[in-house]
Amino acid sequence: MKSFSSTATLFSLTAFFLVAVVSAFPFDDIDLPFDYYSLSCPKLEEIVHNKMEEWVKKDYTLAPALMRLHFHDCVVRGCDASILLDHEGSEKSGKASKTLRGFEVIEDIKREVERVCPRTVSCADILTVVARDATLAVGGPFWMVPYGRKDGTVSYAKEADQLVPMGHEVVTDLLELFQSKGLNVLDLVVLSGAHTIGRTTCESMQYRLYNYNGTRKSDSRLDHLYLNYLERKCRWASEYVDLDAVTPKKFDVQYYKNLQKGMGLLLTDQLLYSDPRTAPIVTALATQPDVFENLFAASMVKLGNIQDYLSVDGEVRLSCASVNSPGY
């Protein structure tokens, strides 16, 4: 028989789920239609799907990399493809962006879209639907993508370095960032579940192994067997390590189970299980894969709807790496 506390947690999660689904489609606040390209570029999703199949078949790690690229884009100036601009001092050149990958995939898809539907589809919309198809490529859920975003014309490295989480923040920092973008505590825990796949450099977490908080010791939260593995794996900062050590190529709830065992790679992950605002959600999701997938889809729609700019300020870039020339 389930305990009262367990039942209450499940009930709360169900309520959260209903709120998330409704708020994932804020028609009154952001009027992004699903049929935006139904006449002007009806083959958009087919093009993206086929291109993504080609790229992920060649390099599976591109799928989580593209999901991460979308997140970095949306938390700085909203989902306006500002992360794709490639010039001195742009977000792409920031410290927070130095391990981002997948830019060549977006440019390849953009060229094909331009061939079929010239001057029509924004890079911001392409990156958003690519994130959806990247999730599908690793076994994650499907969701419908609303369209109509514009490409921004401004991109600053300092903004990316100030806003993008680097893996050492506390939960309060993360919640403040998410709330400033119209997301909530459930979105934080659910979107963190993207770390069920993908990898990071050892540089981002070595301090947890050898000098946590200046103690010259390891972070006591780390499972001792996992710690031994990481000490062998991460002798060099440039080495890569899987975010999920158990099922690194499977989109599942193992990430949350890992947190319960002290196997969260990044501090920002592990703290989700020790903070009272997020720990109950971690516990509930660890045993409910179907709920996780539904919530992940809803939170990704909300993420993709972040707009910190006015549509009149944007454009549809010819190349995702640069703003259009005057008179284009």
Note the pLDDT tens digit of each residue in 82-141: 999 999 999 999 999 999 999 999 999 999 999 999 999 999 999 999 999 999 999 999
* Domain annotation covers residue 20: no
- Whether 177 shows a pLDDT value over 50: the answer reads yes
Note the maximum CA span of the chain: 69
* Domain annotation covers residue 253: yes
* Domain annotation covers residue 323: no
CATH number of the domain within which 155 lies: 1.10.520.10
Q: How far is Cα 274 from Cα 10, in angstroms, rounded to an integer? A: 18
Containing structural domain, residue 175: 43-198+243-305
Alpha helices in the chain (DSSP H): 4-23, 44-58, 62-75, 103-116, 123-137, 157-163, 171-180, 185-192, 207-210, 224-233, 254-260, 267-270, 279-285, 289-304
Q: Residue 183 has which token pair?
A: 């997301």
Length of the chain: 328
Q: How far is Cα 136 from Cα 142, in angstroms, rounded to an integer? A: 6
Residue 87 counted as an annotated binding residue: no
pLDDT tens, position by position, 208-253? 999 999 999 999 999 999 999 999 999 999 999 999 999 999 999 9
Residue 78 counted as an annotated binding residue: yes
Question: What is the pLDDT confidence band of residue 327, given thresholds at 50, 70 and 90?
Answer: confident
Question: What is the pLDDT confidence band of residue 313, given thresholds at 50, 70 and 90?
Answer: confident
When the pLDDT of each residue in the chain is averaged and rounded to a whole number, the result is: 91
* Domain annotation covers residue 128: yes
Residue 80 counted as an annotated binding residue: yes
Q: How far is Cα 157 from Cα 50, in angstroms, rounded to an integer? A: 32
Question: Tokens 């179907």 belong to which residue?
Answer: 290
pLDDT computed for residue 20 by the predictor: 47
Tell me the sheet residues that pair with 307.
Answer: 78
- Percentage of the chain modeled with pLDDT above 90: 86
Residue 93 counted as an annotated binding residue: no
Q: How many domains does the chain have?
A: 1
* Domain annotation covers residue 324: no
* Domain annotation covers residue 267: yes
* Domain annotation covers residue 325: no
Cβ contact 201:237 at 8 Å: yes
Residue 125 counted as an annotated binding residue: no
- Whether 29 shows a pLDDT value over 60: the answer reads no
Residue 35 counted as an annotated binding residue: no
Q: How far is Cα 51 from Cα 21, in angstroms, rounded to an integer? A: 29
Question: What is the pLDDT confidence band of residue 46, given thresholds at 50, 70 and 90?
Answer: very high
pLDDT computed for residue 25 by the predictor: 44
Is 87 an active-site residue? no
Query: Per-residue pLDDT averaged across 245-273, rounded?
Result: 97
Catalytic residue, from 70, 72, 87, 224: name it.
Answer: 72
- Whether 18 shows a pLDDT value over 60: the answer reads no
* Domain annotation covers residue 61: yes
Neighbours of 25 (CB within 10 A): 16
- pTM over 0.85? The answer is yes
For residues 18, 21, 24, 27, the Cα torsion angle rounded to the nearest 10 degrees is -90
Query: Per-residue pLDDT averaged across 244-267, rounded?
Result: 97
Question: What is the pLDDT confidence band of residue 57, given thresholds at 50, 70 and 90?
Answer: very high
Residue 278 counted as an annotated binding residue: no
Q: CA–CA distance from 269 to each of 22, 84, 170, 173, 243 (Å)? A: 26, 26, 10, 13, 10
Cβ contact 313:153 at 8 Å: yes
Q: What is the CA radius of gyration of the chain?
A: 20
Q: How far is Cα 31 from Cα 242, in angstroms, rounded to an integer? A: 38
pLDDT computed for residue 312 by the predictor: 56
- Of 192, 200, 271, nearest to 230 by C-alpha is 200
Query: Per-residue pLDDT averaged across 177-202, rounded?
Result: 97
pLDDT computed for residue 2 by the predictor: 41
